[in-house]
Chain A
Amino acid sequence: MTAALLVATALMGLAGTAAGAIAPVRFRIALSSALTIAACALGFVVGAEVLHSGHAAVVHTTTLMPLASFSLALDRFGALFVVITAVVGICAMIFRFGYDGQGLASRTASSILPLFVTSLLLVPAASNVTTFLFLWELMAITSLLLVLTDHARRSEVQVAGQWYAVMTQLGAAALILGLVLLATRSGSQSFAVIAVRSAHLPAWVRSTAFVLAVVGFGSKAGAVPLHVWLPRAHPEAPGPVSALMSAAMVNLGVYGIVRVGMGLLSGGPAWWWLLVMGLGALSAMFGSLHSATSKDLKRLLAYSTTDNVGLMLLGVGASGLFADTGHRALALLALVAALLHVVFHAVFKGSLFLSASSVHQAAGSTDLDQLGGLLRRMPVSGPIFLVGGLAIAALPPFCGFVSEWLLLQSMLHGLPSGDVAIAVAMPIGVGVLALTGGLTAFTFTKAIGIGLLGLPRTQDAERAGEVGRPMWIGAGLLAVLCLVFGVAPFLVIPSVVDAAGAVPGLHLAGALTRGWNVALPGVPGMLAPGLVAIGLVGFGGLVALGRHLVQQRPVRLTEAWGCGRELQTARMEYTATSFGEPLTRVFEDVLSPARDVDVSHLAESRYYTEAAVIHTTIDDAFERRVYRPADRMLVRWGAVARRVPNGSVHRYLAFGLVALIVVLVVLA
């Protein structure tokens, strides 16, 4: 039953691809989006059914690919990711009905987009190495093509595409090496067989495979230092694509690390997980710092994705570390926290990216310094962004709060365990979580304060209006989920616990939810998000009531963030750059911003200034220190290597002769 539905999902996605390729222009978007929504709906049903029943959906055929079988087996762990992708996919496709920007209506994009969504849905189901790598590459290449949709009009898109192509293919190379090493050493390419036999493999094989998998999956997840494609590709991709990439594709990097590290290799030594935690901590801090200082809305969101992936990896690493030291309950708790963060991140980041695209369409820019006053002009999309921002800042009663609370609890409760690695790693993890929490709150205060409140800074922002209904419905559905999951996390936690329980060696001592509340089995601690929400609403009501009763004077209404002045202009407002300035100064060593001050004087006297403009640009430190030098070195080597083939036929023939001799000597 589920197997047939899984096949139907794939076929429906392919039908969407065909529709995008051959349907007449008038029906192209409608037809391909509708079929993709259908594919996502089928995927949702399969995933939900597998999560509910625990019976894997298995599809196996030997005729689809030569020399290897095409094999899908969706277990509970994979099903969770399928469900996430399906929900984000449905919302992104609804959004697409109203979205007309960045060339997404073209024939190529319309046919590639369903294929991308389908590959996202199927990757977590792949159950042998060939199938996995095939679907993984399909996902990488289709997403690359979608990033490049608008390449003809803007050169930045081409640069972004190049970065993405290089990073994703480097990651894929590491992945192929790692998985093929596992498959050849264990004598089978089936995940199930590898999982059984991997325990008997030599330690270096297991460790090499794991590190290669972390590199490969980390580059897809956008973990520092492999994140450099993310802040370039996400802003340049069309809205629904960037939402899908950030809310669904990035998750699969985390999926892969758990699948290989805990599934195929059944856990490993402490240093593996300290490595994962280290990457997570670095990503969380670096990502949140850069998102706090970015002034482009989509770049800010992209860096915040790196930040959140860091938190997920922190949870995964903590889980592996607990499992290695025998703390099973804590291991499951940390993994549940990480997976819950995957779910919630998909929900709030999806709504944020979609509503940022709405802002782009309405105001013609995502540069915060070109926006302002949009909350009043976009009465639906504005609040949607607000909800997403509150959720990502981990404020109750929205969902981000629950997962970050669980993550914090799982790490705090590891402290008394007495193990040295845990005793060192967990306080650092807690500190990172606290720092990134603060920075994220700062970031979204800036995004909302500068972008949505205040006065419009440009005429485009002044003229902005609410976007079409499909767009705010698509983003709004996800925003509603932010609130629902934040108030009633018991709706989703049991499924996540089931999914995490599918990972070998992890099982829970008791239920994680108790009525409306989140409880921690085996450790003290409990959270009642419902009560928190009621309390917040009650407190808000009391404050409003108190003000109403106390206030006698007439209320003076001016712009929020207007510093109480009347008759102010947009030029008197804070800009995103100036808001981030103190933070940029504090972290100057890490960010090393380049400041440029242009002062122009009056023609009559040098003592009077006509205008002063400050430009601050913040490059990515890894890009500047690691990738650019590596790039220059490769180009230099390339220039040397180009001198070797000089066009002489004889020289080329000599290459052949030398190669032949080398082969003979090696084989002899």
Chain B
Amino acid sequence: MSGSSYFSVLTLAAGTVLVCAVAILWLASIRAVISMVAVQGASLGLVAVVLGVHLHDAGLLAAAAVVVVVKAVVIPVLLGRASGSDSGSRESRPLVNVPASLVASAALIVLAFVTGRGVAHFVGTRAGALVPIGIATMLIGFFVLVARRRPTFQIVGLLMVDNGIALTAFLCTAGFPFLIELGVSFDVLLGVVVLMVLSQRLRLEFGDVDLDELQELHD
């Protein structure tokens, strides 16, 4: 793969990760959001594949396989099955509405690019210049955690934070060692399963799955 086309594909894949993140903020239907998660996972896998091919790194390719299997297939399927029980449910009353969320995401992206410059400069490679995209994805994921009520969105937010961290790691150091990537992916999978069980229990217990119902726990 020639230098310029490698970088174009890499930029496209990394950009897709960020676009998916913004799209998740924009969308209200849980089904659409889950498909966005799948696309984001696949794009992250593509980033790893491109880097692996460019650097001739078999470990990176194996990590890409794990990422694609877990984040683009297994987790979306699990999420889809869980939300199947209340199909068609929407995020009807988010804590921060959609236009405000998009403005906030724009601010977070600017922040990521301003603060990520130092990291990009420090890494020094062309791939390193894309590090702010990873930071932006992580910040938007965190914002989803804060601004959305439904537990499915909480899981999606957590996934986006993890995807952002993984993207940053891929771009900075050509990825974690394969074993760590494997471990992290399964940690995330386990986290998703636990959160899904929790949201099922919430529904059984309260008949609703608004996390703000749980206010009695404070000190």
Evaluate whether A647 and B95 lie within 8 angstroms (CB atoms) in the complex, with A656-B142, A657-B146, A665-B111 already known.
Answer: no
Residues on the A chain within 8 Å of B13, using CB: none
B84 within 8 A of A: no
Q: Is the CB of A660 within 8 A of B139?
A: yes
Chain A residue numbers with a CB within 8 Å of B135 are 664
- Stretch from B24-32, B114-122, B166-174, B180-188 forming part of the interface with A: B114-122
Size class of the contact patch on chain B: 20 to 34
Determine how close the nearest CB of chain B comes to the CB of A664; give it in whole angstroms.
4
**CB distance B142 to A646 under 8 Å?**
no
A649 within 8 A of B: yes
Task: Report how far A637 CA is from B182 CA in the complex, Å.
Answer: 47
Complex contact B212–A660 (CB within 8 A): no
The reply to whether A649 and B211 form a contact with Cβ atoms under 8 Å apart is yes
Q: Is A554's beta carbon under 8 Å from chain B? A: no
Interfacial chain B residues near A654, Cβ < 8 Å: 146
Q: Does B146 contact A653, Cβ atoms closer than 8 Å?
A: yes
Q: Which residues of A contact B75 (CB under 8 A)?
A: none
- For the complex, what is the distance from the CA of A654 to the CA of B217, rounded to whole Å? 17
Say yes or no: is B70 at the interface (Cβ < 8 Å to chain A): no
Residues of chain B contacted by A653 (CB below 8 angstroms): 142, 145-146
Cβ-based interface call for A661 (8 A) = yes
A650 touching B147 in the complex, CB below 8 Å, given contacts A657-B139, A660-B139, A664-B135:
yes
Q: Do A646 and B218 form a contact, CB below 8 Å, given A660-B139, A661-B139, A664-B115?
A: yes
Q: Is A612 an interface residue (CB 8 A)?
A: no
Question: Known contacts A664-B115, A665-B111: does B143 contact A657 (CB below 8 Å)?
Answer: yes
State in angstroms the CA–CA spacing of A51 and B217 once bound together: 61
Task: Judge whether A668 is part of the interface by a CB distance below 8 angstroms.
Answer: yes
Most buried by A among B115, B143, B219: B115
In the complex, are the beta carbons of B139 and A646 less than 8 A apart?
A: no
Closest beta carbon of chain B to A478's beta carbon, Å: 50
Nearest A residue (CB) for B115: A668
The residue that A668 contacts in the complex, of B117, B216, B217, B218, with Cβ under 8 A, is B117
Whether B146 contacts A642 by the Cβ 8 Å rule is no
Contact partners of A646 in chain B: CB under 8 A: 215, 218
Of the candidates A645, A665, A668, the one whose C-beta lies within 8 Å of that of B219 is: A645
Asked if A567 is at the interface of the complex by the 8 Å CB criterion, the answer is: no
Interface residue B214 (Cβ < 8 Å from any Cβ of A): yes
Distance in Å: Cβ of B189 to nearest Cβ of chain A: 21
Pick the contact of A661: B111, B145, B212, B217 (CB < 8 A).
Answer: B111
B211 to chain A, nearest CB (A): 5
Residues in chain B near residue A647, CB distance under 8 A? 214-218
How many residues of chain A get a CB closer than 8 Å to chain B's CBs? 17
- Given the complex, which residues of B lie within 8 Å of A639, measured CB to CB? none
Which chain B positions have C-beta within 8 A of A645? 218-219
Q: How many angstroms between the C-alpha atoms of A657 and B145 in the bound complex?
A: 9
Closest Cβ neighbor of B114 among chain A residues: A668
Q: Which of B114, B211, B216, B218 contacts A650 (CB 8 A)?
A: B211
A642:B212 contact, CB within 8 angstroms = no
Contacts of A668 in B (CB 8 A): 114-118
A646 to B219, CA, bound (A): 8
* A1 in the interface (beta carbon within 8 A): no
Given contacts A664-B111, A668-B115, contact A648 B215 (CB under 8 A): yes
Residue A420 interfacial (CB < 8 Å): no
Residues of A within 8 A of B139 (CB): 657, 660-661
Name the B residues within 8 Å of A650 (CB-CB). Answer: 95, 145-147, 149, 211-212
- A657 and B157 CA atoms in complex are apart in Å by 12
Q: Say yes or no: is A667 at the interface (Cβ < 8 Å to chain B).
A: yes
How many Å lie between the Cα of A660 and that of B161 in the bound state? 12
Inter-chain contacts of A664 with B (CB < 8 A): 111-112, 115, 135
Residue among A645, A650, A654 with max Cβ neighbours from chain B (10 Å): A650
Mark out the residues of chain B between 101 and 139 whose CB falls within 8 Å of any chain A CB in the assembled complex.
Answer: 111-112, 114-118, 135, 139
What is the distance, in angstroms, from B138's C-beta to the closest C-beta of chain A? 8
Encoded as 1 (CB less than 8 Å from any B CB) or 0, chain A from 622 to 636 comes to 000000000000000
- What distance in Å separates the Cβ of A650 from its nearest Cβ neighbour in chain B? 6
**A344 and B30 alpha carbons, distance in the complex (Å):** 80
> Which residues does chain B contribute within 8 Å of A642, judged by CB atoms?
219
B115/A665 in contact, CB under 8 A: yes
Knowing A642-B219, A656-B142, the reply to whether A649 touches B212 (Cβ < 8 A) is yes
Give the residues in chain A near B115, CB-CB below 8 Å. Answer: 664-665, 667-668
8 smallest A-B Cβ distances: which pairs? A647-B218, A668-B115, A647-B215, A664-B115, A654-B146, A657-B142, A653-B145, A649-B211
Residue pairs across A and B with Cβ atoms less than 8 A apart, 20 shown, are A642-B219, A646-B215, A647-B214, A647-B215, A647-B216, A647-B218, A648-B211, A649-B214, A650-B95, A650-B145, A650-B211, A653-B142, A654-B146, A657-B143, A657-B145, A664-B111, A668-B114, A668-B115, A668-B117, A668-B118
Q: Report which B residues bind A (CB closer than 8 A).
A: 95, 111-112, 114-118, 135, 139, 142-143, 145-147, 149, 211-212, 214-219
Q: Which residues of A approach B to under 8 Å, CB–CB?
A: 642, 645-650, 653-654, 656-657, 660-661, 664-665, 667-668
Question: Assuming A647-B218, A653-B146, A661-B111, what are 11 further A-B pairs, CB within 8 angstroms?
Answer: A642-B219, A646-B215, A647-B217, A648-B215, A650-B145, A650-B147, A653-B145, A657-B139, A660-B139, A664-B115, A665-B111
